[in-house]
Amino acid sequence: MADDAAPKVGRRGFLKGAALGGIAAATPAIAAAQTPPPAGQSGTGATGPRAAAAAADRSQPRPAQPVSTSAEQTNRDEGATYTTCGGDYMTDVLRSLGIEYFAATPGNTFMGLHEAIVNYGMLTQPKLRSLTTMHEEASVAMCHGYAKIAGKPMACMFHTTVGTMHASMAVYNAYADRVPIFMMTGVALQEERRPGGVDWLHDATDGPALMRDFTKWDDTPASLTHFGESAVRAWKFAMTPPYGPTLLAVDTQMQEDEIPGGASKTPPIPKLPRIVPPSGEAGAVRELAGMLVKAQNPVIVADRCARTTEGLKLLVELAETLNAPVCDTTNRMNFPWRHPLSQSPRQGALLGQADVILGLEPGDPFGLANRKDREGNVRRFVKPDAKVVTISSVELYPKGNYQDLQRYPSNVDMAMEADAQATLPFLIEEVKRQMGAKNQFEARGQAHAKAHRDDLEAAKRNAVFGWDDSPISMPRMCQELYENIKGDDWSLVSDTNFQSRWPQKLWHADKHHQFIGGHGAAGIGYLTPASLGAALANQEHGRLSVSFIGDGDLMFGPGVLWTAAHERIPILYLVHNNRGYHMEIMQMQVIANRRNRGIDRLGIACGIDNPNINYSMMAKSMGMYSEGPIENPKDLGPAIKRAIAVVKKGEPALIDVVSQGR
């Protein structure tokens, strides 16, 4: 990416640099169009909880840069070559939306826009950064991770048909994880634009159909004006809860050709309104507050609740007001890990005693009250008279076919169809009003605080089992990392499921950017690129991004390491190298044991060994600092220290840790 550090602007570049001004002159409203209203101005009044929630929402686009409107700069189309192609206009639309990054594996169905981004978008303000990937799945997963830190979409574009097919699993992950992505693919609508046989193979009359079941919205705009409107609409829908990926199929002719009629006919950039997410209906919020205030044992289960920093703060406020325990599914950074009311390890026991259960954006509302055993028998484990209330935006946008909604939750008493984070300010206000001045729940809070301390002590005791073992134990790997980052502004940009959640059990984390949650749809091949996208978003804040990636996950798309090195994105990858698809080993062991056939041969199906892969050498071959394979746990801490020094200089690094299954 270093290309734009010393731009050779030249005549075309100079003219391009002037281009934004040219469009601004043609469309005076453009500079103001995507500038959000002053913080605090809301759809229903400038004060109160709604305004406070909106003020802290980092999802809104950045204000457009000031633009010049000098006469010289309006001459965009003077000279021998055209300077106002459709791709340039599209580039301006993207950056008007606050999009800063664009990831792509190149393909000629989008070269008109790709060239415009490289030769115009990267050289003029506000600069776009184009990142080259080695698999379309990596482009999408990078956008997935980026959005979880940045709180807004990154753009990617993939080749028609073949690129769309490659991208699809990562799109499904993002869809199931309710994460916004601004995606584009090409399409040559006219046969004259398909000169060769391959061009026909790489075209589809309805390319987005392939992923329509798991994208939030798509369109195939038929003119530049239409592109502008659909692009703004795609961003808007992606960022309206439930968030999700949206897709535009963009005609090659429109990307490549001059703007019909020349620069003066450049279409305007449509205005993006500030989005106000739906909050719960006032009467229902009052009723829920009453249930929570009266409850003896309320339990809050937070799933994809905290979209932003503000969401985490609000959940802390609700929990502390009620002294109610919070069980965090870890799909988002919902709640501080060492908060005394953080009770995730005790979720089963707490739900069993609960009289009111509040599920915030639950991915599996059925699971709030029911468990299925391995034989498929369902058991309701909450008390018969326990009340279950959910606040969820997901059911405002249901789709068929893919089964991401989980089993029908007949256990739910009230389903508040609203965004949980947007509803929390009203719920807190109402709980406080109904509670009055006196805090009636202090004893409950103290009991939970003690349970939290007990869990922490138990986790510390358990962590030392096998401390000096080789392969290296999970708690040892996690703690060696934590000891080296705890003084920094760190961000764990991977999931912790495959590390048995040791970070949640032992680390202190109280900031929204310190953890990004999981895959969404458990599609492997997500961790390595999604971590990188999140690290990209962390880069401008100077945060230390660290990531655990599986050896299996890494081998789904090792080319991500080259993108990390090439783009110089600071991140520390620890490869949890258990030399196998260990999740599948565990599952197959259950089957083999059920059939009394032993587990000795399962490595044949699930091992990644013989030969062992040297991930450190692999990373080095792509220009990345690396160490390992590390087998002796005593070598791990010093290696991490050295790698972090590299990361702090702005480079990626990887350590291959030969480690236990879980």
Ligand X SMILES: Cc1ncc(C[n+]2csc(CCOP(=O)(O)OP(=O)(O)O)c2C)c(N)n1
Q: Which does 522 bind (CB under 5 to 8 A by kind): Mg ion, ligand X, none?
A: ligand X
**Least distance between Mg ion and beta carbon 575 (Å):** 9
Residue 420's nearest CA partner among 518, 301, 571 is: 301
Kindly state whether residue 552 participates in binding Mg ion, applying the rule CB under 5 A: yes
> Which residue, 219 or 553, is less far from Mg ion as judged by CB?
553
Kindly state whether residue 631 participates in binding ligand X, applying the rule CB under 6 A: no
Kindly state whether residue 498 participates in binding ligand X, applying the rule CB under 6 A: yes
- Choices 56-64, 161-169, 266-274, 573-581; region in contact with Mg ion by CB under 5 A: 573-581
- Choices 137-145, 297-305, 518-526, 633-641; region in contact with ligand X by CB under 6 A: 518-526
Kindly state whether residue 550 participates in binding Mg ion, applying the rule CB under 5 A: yes
Structure tokens at 105: 């594996």
Pick left, alpha or beta for residue 445 (phi over 0 → left; psi -120 to 50 → alpha; otherwise beta).
Answer: alpha
User: How many residues at the interface with Mg ion, by CB under 5 A?
Assistant: 5
Give the chain's radius of gyration (CA, Å): 26
Max Cα-Cα span within the chain: 83
Strands 572-577 and 653-658, bridge-based pairing: parallel
**Least distance between Mg ion and beta carbon 552 (Å):** 5
**Least distance between ligand X and beta carbon 465 (Å):** 19
- Choices 421-429, 509-517, 572-580, 624-632; region in contact with ligand X by CB under 6 A: 572-580
The residue type found at 193 is: R
Q: Which of 87, 580, 629, 633 binds ligand X (CB under 6 A)?
A: 580
- Choices 301-309, 323-331, 431-439, 571-579; region in contact with Mg ion by CB under 5 A: 571-579
Q: How far apart are CA 626 and CA 628, in angstroms?
A: 7
Kindly state whether residue 652 participates in binding ligand X, applying the rule CB under 6 A: no
C-beta atoms surrounding 408 within 10 Å: 9
Per-residue binding string, ligand X, 30-49, x by CB under 6 A, is: --------------------
> Which residue, 495 or 651, is less far from ligand X as judged by CB?
495
- Choices 52-60, 155-163, 281-289, 548-556; region in contact with Mg ion by CB under 5 A: 548-556
> Is the peptide bond prior to 61 cis by the omega test (within 30 degrees of 0)?
no
Could you say which DSSP state residue 562 is in?
H
- Choices 19-27, 149-157, 213-221, 581-589; region in contact with ligand X by CB under 6 A: 581-589
Q: Which of 77, 361, 430, 551 binds Mg ion (CB under 5 A)?
A: 551
The residue type found at 440 is: Q
DSSP string, 469-487: -SSBPHHHHHHHHHHHHTT
The residue of the chain with the least Cβ separation from ligand X equals: 550
Name residues contacting Mg ion, limited to 378-397 (CB under 5 A): none
Contacts of 175 (CB under 8 A, 6+ apart): 214, 215, 216, 244, 245, 402, 404, 520, 521
**Least distance between ligand X and beta carbon 500 (Å):** 10
H-helix or E-strand spanning residue 370: strand 370-372
- Choices 170-178, 450-458, 524-532, 549-557; region in contact with Mg ion by CB under 5 A: 549-557
> Which residue, 422 or 583, is less far from ligand X as judged by CB?
583
Kindly state whether residue 582 participates in binding ligand X, applying the rule CB under 6 A: yes
Q: Which does 584 bind (CB under 5 to 8 A by kind): Mg ion, ligand X, none?
A: ligand X
Q: Which does 86 bind (CB under 5 to 8 A by kind): Mg ion, ligand X, none?
A: none
C-beta atoms surrounding 643 within 10 Å: 25
> Which residue, 328 or 553, is less far from Mg ion as judged by CB?
553
Question: Which residue do the tokens 């013989």 mark?
Answer: 610
Kindly state whether residue 553 participates in binding ligand X, applying the rule CB under 6 A: yes
Structure tokens at 662: 């879980």
Question: Which residue do the tokens 């190298």 mark?
Answer: 577
CA distances (Å), origin 500, targets 433, 576, 662: 41, 12, 6
> Which residue, 445 or 523, is less far from ligand X as judged by CB?
523
**Least distance between ligand X and beta carbon 602 (Å):** 13
Nearest-10 crossing angle of helices 48-55, 420-435:
140
> Which residue, 108 or 500, is less far from ligand X as judged by CB?
500
Kindly state whether residue 222 participates in binding ligand X, applying the rule CB under 6 A: no
Per-residue binding string, ligand X, 157-176, x by CB under 6 A, is: ------------x-------
Q: Which does 583 bind (CB under 5 to 8 A by kind): Mg ion, ligand X, none?
A: ligand X
> Which residue, 245 or 552, is less far from Mg ion as judged by CB?
552
The residue type found at 543 is: R
Name residues contacting ligand X, limited to 522-551 (CB under 6 A): 522-525, 550-551
> Is the peptide bond prior to 629 cis by the omega test (within 30 degrees of 0)?
yes
**Least distance between ligand X and beta carbon 183 (Å):** 19
Structure tokens at 364: 């599996």
Q: How far apart are CA 556 and CA 527, in angstroms?
A: 10
CA distances (Å), origin 157, targets 21, 122, 143: 26, 16, 11
> Which residue, 229 or 551, is less far from ligand X as judged by CB?
551
Question: Which residue do the tokens 């634009």 mark?
Answer: 193
Q: Which does 145 bind (CB under 5 to 8 A by kind): Mg ion, ligand X, none?
A: none
Kindly state whether residue 583 participates in binding ligand X, applying the rule CB under 6 A: yes
> Which residue, 518 or 525, is less far from ligand X as judged by CB?
525
Structure tokens at 380: 């309701």
**Least distance between Mg ion and beta carbon 167 (Å):** 24
- Choices 158-166, 517-525, 591-599, 630-638; region in contact with ligand X by CB under 6 A: 517-525
Q: Which of 244, 362, 552, 570 binds ligand X (CB under 6 A)?
A: 552
> Which residue, 566 or 582, is less far from ligand X as judged by CB?
582
Q: How far apart are CA 253 and CA 4, in angstroms?
A: 27
Name residues contacting Mg ion, limited to 578-637 (CB under 5 A): 578, 582
DSSP string, 55-72: HT-TTSPPPPPP----TG
Contacts of 197 (CB under 8 A, 6+ apart): none
C-alpha neighbours within 13 Å on the C-beta side of residue 305: 30
Contacts of 150 (CB under 8 A, 6+ apart): 58, 537
> Which residue, 72 or 609, is less far from ligand X as judged by CB?
609
3-state secondary structure at position 161: coil
Kindly state whether residue 525 participates in binding Mg ion, applying the rule CB under 5 A: no
CB 160 within 8 A of CB 109: yes
Question: Which residue do the tokens 């009453």 mark?
Answer: 290
**Least distance between ligand X and beta carbon 605 (Å):** 10
**Least distance between ligand X and beta carbon 38 (Å):** 45
Kindly state whether residue 584 participates in binding ligand X, applying the rule CB under 6 A: yes
Residue 24's nearest CA partner among 273, 269, 258, 271 is: 269
C-alpha neighbours within 13 Å on the C-beta side of residue 142: 33
Q: Which does 298 bind (CB under 5 to 8 A by kind): ligand X, Mg ion, none?
A: none
Query: Applying CB under 5 A, which residues contact Mg ion?
Result: 550-552, 578, 582
Residues lying near ligand X in the complex (CB under 6 A): 169, 498, 522-525, 550-553, 576, 578, 580-584
